[in-house]
Amino acid sequence: MTEPTGSGTQALDRAVQLASMVVEADAPLSFADLQEASGLAKSTTSRMLAALERGGLLERDEAGGYVAGSLFWLYAARHDPWEQLVRLARPGMERVGRDTQETVHLSVLRGDRVVQVAQVDSHYLLGTRDWTHIDVPAHTSALGKVFLAWGALDLPGSPLEPRTPETLTTRAALDREGVLTRRRGYAVTVDELEVGLTGIAAPVRGSRDDVVAALGISGPTSRLDGRVQELGRQLVTRATEIAAVLHGHHTRLTKEGVA
């Protein structure tokens, strides 16, 4: 094989530069944004963007802005798309554990299911349980209510299961709960999944202000009673800090199984 010519290498470098700018951006970039930032001629920018689109490295959204293409999403789907999220969120979760002493959870959406992908155990014996990958109905948990309240997840069409007498099982009740959740910034469940269990959770937002994860704690209702507001505010602060770390690493997060 012959070595690539200087012009071929230069063209490849320019294409890589354009693709990198799009993938690392916090929002879709327009043609004008890319042409100005790269300093390339309009004709050169146009040719290279077209080639990157054909190759699946870039694509355009409904407004015409450039975003990462199908090859990036294919790669993410074939690997664990949450490994990086868990790694970056872990220090924040451990901070929440030290502050609250309670079990700390990090959940994401996989299709239409809320799945816990990381946990920091409680410092107490009462309340310690491994919830990782346990399937819990979204309407019964504070983590699930985060995704419901911010519109990342829809309620199923089938009747909702009443896990306890306190479980909210009607759309009207959950809609009212969603309004309250968005107003205060965090979700709460008290005895709704299991009598004696309280959960509190806050949204972790992605670069486009969408909810990519939920950070929460759980513990005995008797121990958390009277502390819900204080703990909810702490979670909002920590979730915002985790989101800032994600943005700083240009992490692109997608919902597995959801287009």
- Quick one: 219 and 237 in the same domain? yes
- Quick one: 38 and 87 in the same domain? no
Cα 48 to Cα 2, 34, 38, 51, 67: the distances in Å are 23, 11, 12, 5, 14
DSSP code, position 19: H
Tokens read off for 178: 């969603």
What does the alpha-carbon distance between residue 37 and residue 144 come to, in Å, rounded to a whole number? 41
- Quick one: 85 and 71 in the same domain? no
Q: Are 248 and 110 in contact (CB under 8 A)?
A: no
- Quick one: 115 and 234 in the same domain? yes
**Structure confidence at residue 73 (pLDDT):** 63
- Quick one: 106 and 120 in the same domain? yes
- Quick one: 54 and 165 in the same domain? no
What does the alpha-carbon distance between residue 124 and residue 114 come to, in Å, rounded to a whole number? 25
**Structure confidence at residue 81 (pLDDT):** 61
183 Cβ contact partners less than 8 Å away, ≥ 6 residues apart: none
**Structure confidence at residue 250 (pLDDT):** 42
What does the alpha-carbon distance between residue 183 and residue 178 come to, in Å, rounded to a whole number? 8
> What DSSP string runs through 102-157?
SEEEEEEEETTEEEEEEEE--SSSTT----TT----GGGSHHHHHHHHTTSSPPPS
Among 56, 45, 58, 75, smallest CA distance to 19 is for 58
- Give the CATH number, domain containing residue 49: 1.10.10.10
- Quick one: 42 and 84 in the same domain? no
**Structure confidence at residue 117 (pLDDT):** 87
**Structure confidence at residue 232 (pLDDT):** 97
Residue 14: which domain range? 6-77
Q: Output phi, psi for 173, to 5 deg.
A: -65, -40
Q: For the chain, which residues score pLDDT lower than 50?
A: 1-5, 77, 250-259
Residues 78-96 have pLDDT tens digits of 556 677 788 889 999 999 9
| 253 within some domain | no
**Structure confidence at residue 3 (pLDDT):** 40
What does the alpha-carbon distance between residue 69 and residue 1 come to, in Å, rounded to a whole number? 30
